[in-house]
Structures are given as structure tokens and as C-alpha cells.
Structure 1
């Protein structure tokens, strides 16, 4: 049995969980998320907890047990608290602005980069160089953050680029001069 899978998921008071067949729908303060659950996974709700069970103990179903428990937990946390990702722009002249439903980045190219902001994700730019992304779906939030980051991933020689908050770039020594 999966160690992660057998942990109960505590449901906050402002979150509503409903299971209908293979669908699980979780509604909360910040939105509604839904997911399709395979037939081998069962979900029981009692005393403010969700318990994810597995119907047979084969290797693939044990792997799914922990996976789907974590996915459901992320859904519960997302609709009750939201997830947050912070990106830092490091480089001379690098800056960001939010215009309507786009985030506009100046990253040293000859043109500004316009990226459409997906539904369900809110973007806030602090001091032109810090981008705060918030959303209830952890998967979509991570994909959007990586899409922004892919325009200027950090490079090891000067340390310039778009970094996640707390990320450390291992710097390399440049060319040494002639001896």
C-alpha cells in the first residue's frame, strides 16, 4: 500500500467535495476544479476527511493510489488557499508590465514579448522585476510560469534571466586571459 496514498485529506470548512462516478468536483473560495478518477481508485468521505482507497493491490494501481491522492490534495489546497509562484527578472533593462490580458516582458530582445494570461491565473508585477502568479490549479500555474521562464532561462556566466524565487544559479568562471 502506498504511504502517501493512505494519508487522509483534511477538508477545510469552506470547501465542498462531490464525487459522481468517475468525476470528483471540488468547489471552494477561489474556484472549482474537477478531475476524472480511474475505476480502480475509490474515494470515501467521512468526518471532514477524504480517504483514497485502491480496489486491488497490483503494482500499477499502487502507483496510481499515491498519485491520485496527491492530485486531490492539490485540488483541495488550490480552491481553499491558492498556489503562488514568484519569478524574478535579473538583467539590465529587464522588466515586466501587465496590460489588459497580457503580460509584456522586455528581456533584451529588439521587441517586447507579449504573453496572454490564461483564465484562472492572476498576475501581479511588483517593482517591474518581480512577477507574482496566483492560481488554484497547480498544474496550469506551473506550466504558465515555465512558459514565461522559457523566454530567458538563467545563464551560468552572468546570472541573467528569469529565475524562480529562491533558485540558485551555479556560476561558472568565464574565459581566462592569455598567460
Structure 2
């Protein structure tokens, strides 16, 4: 049974797109298990033998991508409680729970990052995972102690927000230019 968790290059999240047909359908084979992503009874996602009944396709509507199980014609949906399901595909406007794409390397089925409420509410990308690991607690510690204990970090899914890219690319006034609205002295 799959869950939606933080994306990581680990067993349980690595699927391989195989046997692509001219109609754009394909199998999604688990790189570690050898079975394929499948529609199980009750609209549950799981693994089973790779058969023609377990073919998938990518649908694109209005710039959004959905992952559709061909035989059932249902799409992967985030569901609730981070437990993805198969659900009738949204048509017209695709809502966030069904926005999924296939990231070939490392093989993720990913629900993308999104935001709302003028940026006050952010939802980070999540991926299908059949072997979720227990979340680790983190703490702020002295850097020297942390280094000596062998802790290392790997940066994943890093990006520069568009606002920062625009700021960095914008022409800046010379340092001696007066500030907007007058001098810096308080009234």
C-alpha cells in the first residue's frame, strides 16, 4: 500500500517506465521489487504482476499532468491522510490532489509543490512510497559536535524561487542613490 511522503531517492519510491506503446501507455515497474504499480480492489494503489491490465498514461489538461490507470480510467489522487487512491479523473480544471507527474530519474510519481493564501500556505512536493520510513526528529546542535558525530546533509529538490530570480536579475541603483521616499533620517 502506498503513501505520499517527502520525495527521496530510496527503495519504495523508484519506478521505471517500461514497454511504452504508440498510444502513450506504459507500465510502471518498481526498480527494487520487480512488480508493477497496480490498481488493487477498492481503488487502492499497490504492486502486482506486470500485465497489460496495469498500464498507465500521462494526461495533460490546462498545463497540469495527471497519471491515469488505463483499464479503470481513474487517476492517482492524493486522497486524505497522505494515502493516495484511484479516483475519477478531474476534467477541465485539474485540482491539486490529482496533479501528478512522472520524474524519470530517480523514478518518482510526484505531486508538485504548491502554495495558497498569498504564499502563507505552502505544500511541498510529495511522492508515492510503498516503503515509507519513520520520520526523524531533528534538533539544533553545536556544529562541531554534529560534524564529529558524522552527520551529513544532502540537498534535495532545491530551487530558487521566481521572486528571488527576478530580484537577482533586476538592475540595482548605485550605492549613493537616495532611497525612495526621501532620506533615511526619521522625521
| TM-score w.r.t. length of structure 2 | 0.27
If each structure's strand is expressed as a fraction of its own residues, which one has the higher value? 1
| TM-score w.r.t. length of structure 1 | 0.27
Q: Which has the larger radius of gyration?
A: 2
